[in-house]
Structure 1
Amino acid sequence: MAKVTKRAVLVGCNYPLTKNRLYGCMEDVRAIKRVIMDKLGFQESNIQVLTDDDHDGARGSSSLLPTGANIKAALNDMANKAKAGDVLFFYFSGHGTAIPVLEAGKPFRQDEAIVPCDLNLVTNVDFRRLVNRLPKGASFTILSDSCQTGALIDKAKTGASKKRKPQENSPMAKGKAKAKFLGFEFIHQAIIAAAGFPQDGGNTISQAAHKIFGKDVSFKFHPHYIGGAFELDPLQEDEGILLSGFEADEASYDIVSDDRAFGAFTDAVVTLLKDHTSAKISNGELAAGAAEALQKQGYEQSPCLYCSKNNTHQDFLGGFA
């Protein structure tokens, strides 16, 4: 039997020195890295970390900045090394955004994206292209602690999340939580300005993003991406697995409490994995367990799992070591 390798790309964006600053994303990456090494058998040499907050010198020389180009390069490197049976993992803690899609004669919809530190968005189109080219038998799991990322892969939500009413003593009520969401209008205006285009000049974000980022721009803003599809290399249904920290009408939260900063969803997942005493935990069990933990702690967000029915019952990241 061929040896199975587990590889991971872990990204944390705190957006320091900006008005969109978060505080717990770098700590989230540290916590996820520890638990996948300690419990799930990942080797440090097969983990790529990208973070942007060096306030205490903790990024270290081995961490790249989480620009859009660096994130995609790390993901592509992981995909290029993949063999049948390998376990690939992408973790993101930071802002998410929703991209409005207006097409004549079609219902309004939104594409979704994670927001790198340089605003060079990595979209659902990029993730689907990545998963489409993986060798058969390799698994790709995304764990996203950010808003507006439930459609990063082409799978429906499995199972039903229990909706809950806001609680008076919740972190949200105490003003200790910040939603991990960056509005697309802000990103649009920032990209247009950075490209040197006038705000009322009629230029599109695709034109501006392509001018700034060139070949590193998201495929969503690529000249060949027309009408929701590619002229070349059309997308196929993918077999990815996505664990997202929220329902469509909720948010993922960055929490600052008792001199500690963390993502609520990430903290629930890490605690569950560390304390789990069985030999394995399935993707469905992890999502349900995280939802229960968040409910008990008063967080108004409901984790969701997006994958095939078969992958719902598969061991999370190939099982414990």
Structure 2
Amino acid sequence: MEATKRMAVLVGCNYPNTKYELHGCINDVMAMRETLMNRFGFEESNIQVLTDEPGSLLMPTGANIKCSLGRMVGKAKSGDVLFFHYSGHGTRVPSMKHGNFSRQDEAIVPCDFNLITDIDFRRLVNRLPKGTSFTMISDSCHSGGLIDKEKEQIGPSTIINDEKLQLRCTPDAAKAKTIPFQSILQHLSLHTNINTTDIGTHLLESFGADASLKFQLDSRELDTIDSLKPDAGILLSGCQANESSADMNPDNAAGKAYGAFSNAIENVLKENPAALSNKQVVVMARGMLKKQGLGQQHPCLYCSDENAEAMFLCQNP
């Protein structure tokens, strides 16, 4: 009988030498890589890392990220544990779904601006073989709800502990991990030279079949991409869909840049060597961010009821 596998795709986008530059995203995924191997039993050969640092062997373009995730899911068998950690910018785009034209949907921003949307992550989760698990950490702005139609366990519609605590000011070292929709539209327009405010037109012109399904399918076709009940998707988001996640760049020689949510998860795991549920990890990360003066950033959990109480990355109790 084939042994179960633990596989991961880790993506860190710092956007170097651009006006959107961040500083801690690559540090986030390299720290997670060590945690996966040392605590959760992932083998180095089963962890793929994509970063946009100079000389990177595999740049985190939209196509490369989706290819890496698709290949991981394609290898999965029942019992396997799959993990995706993204640290970088997020954004929101106008909804393409029928009857929801006023809504905005969530997306991550790869280094080439080829957006990967909540629809793409829903389709990915729908491909998972029965009996697998897929845990996704997105340390990016607007990351709540990044797996379309996943059930909210901790988020804007739920009250966790002391949600009404007075918020403190965001530290000066924090930078929001977001690129506004209009800035993405302007960036893509410079490349396509097409005079339209329809972002789908620009993405399809630039990336063709590698563009998000959100822009390849019409609104009624998008309605047919349903969640499986129950499904194996587990999303730990750095913030709610209308909030920002912080990139921290300490102003001292000893300081090392990091994403606030990624760092909070790392610290929660260090302080709690025993197994924690997905719900416990998110609640503790929320508490840690509040203590650090980042009370405006509320990590969320989206998954089935069963997976909310399941152990994070299936660690044995």
- Same fold per superposition (TM over 0.5): yes
222, 226, 229: which one pairs with 1:236? 226
Question: What amino acid maps onto 1:243 in structure 2?
Answer: L
Q: Residues of 1 paired with 2:226 and 2:97: CA distance? A: 21
Task: Mark the CA change 1:136 to 1:298 in structure 2 (over 3 Å): closer, same or farther.
Answer: same
Q: Does 1:318 align with 2:308?
A: no
SS at match of 1:10: strand
The range that moved more, 239-248 or 139-148, is: 239-248
Identity rate of aligned residues, in percent? 47
Q: CA deviation at 1:4?
A: 1.4
272, 291, 297: which one pairs with 1:296? 291
Task: Mark the CA change 1:215 to 1:165 in structure 2 (over 3 Å): closer, same or farther.
Answer: same
Task: Mark the CA change 1:140 to 1:308 in structure 2 (over 3 Å): closer, same or farther.
Answer: same
Q: Residues of 1 paired with 2:98 and 2:221: CA distance? A: 15
276, 280, 305: which one pairs with 1:281? 276
Q: Residues of 1 paired with 2:97 and 2:131: CA distance? A: 36
1:1-321 paired onto structure 2 within 5 Å: 2-54=2-54, 59=56, 63-101=57-95, 106=100, 108-153=102-147, 154-159=149-154, 160-161=159-160, 162-168=163-169, 172-173=170-171, 175-197=172-194, 201-202=195-196, 204-222=198-216, 225-227=217-219, 229-230=221-222, 234-238=224-228, 239=231, 240-257=233-250, 258=252, 259-278=255-274, 280-300=275-295, 301-319=297-315
* RMSD, aligned CA: 2.0
Q: Residues of 2 paired with 1:32 and 1:320: CA distance? A: 19
Q: Residues of 2 paired with 1:98 and 1:116: CA distance? A: 14
User: Do the aligned residues in 2 keep the contact of 1:4 with 1:85 (CA within 8 Å)?
Assistant: yes
Task: Mark the CA change 1:275 to 1:156 in structure 2 (over 3 Å): closer, same or farther.
Answer: same
Q: How many pairs does the alignment contain?
A: 303
User: Do the aligned residues in 1 keep the contact of 2:89 with 2:178 (CA within 8 Å)?
Assistant: yes
Q: Residues of 2 paired with 1:148 and 1:306: CA distance? A: 14
Q: CA deviation at 1:21?
A: 0.6
SS at match of 1:37: helix
Q: CA deviation at 1:297?
A: 1.8
User: Do the aligned residues in 2 keep the contact of 1:163 with 1:302 (CA within 8 Å)?
Assistant: no
Task: Mark the CA change 1:103 to 1:237 in structure 2 (over 3 Å): closer, same or farther.
Answer: closer
SS at match of 1:111: strand
Q: Residues of 2 paired with 1:93 and 1:3: CA distance? A: 30
Q: Residues of 1 paired with 2:118 and 2:268: CA distance? A: 28
User: Do the aligned residues in 2 keep the contact of 1:179 with 1:251 (CA within 8 Å)?
Assistant: yes
> CA offsets per residue over residues 142-181 of structure 1, 9 Å max, x none?
101001121211223214342443325xxx24x2100111
Q: Residues of 2 paired with 1:276 and 1:102: CA distance? A: 42
SS at match of 2:249: strand
> CA offsets per residue over residues 7-59 of structure 1, 9 Å max, x none?
000000000111011000010011111111111111110001000123xx6x5
Question: What amino acid maps onto 1:124 in structure 2?
Answer: D
Structure 2: give runs of 5+ residues left out of the alignment: none
User: Do the aligned residues in 1 keep the contact of 2:142 with 2:243 (CA within 8 Å)?
Assistant: no
Task: Mark the CA change 1:104 to 1:216 in structure 2 (over 3 Å): closer, same or farther.
Answer: closer
TM-score, normalised relative to structure 1: 0.89
4+ residue runs of structure 1 moved beyond 3 angstroms?
A: 102-107
Question: What amino acid maps onto 1:227 in structure 2?
Answer: S
Task: Mark the CA change 1:163 to 1:23 in structure 2 (over 3 Å): closer, same or farther.
Answer: farther
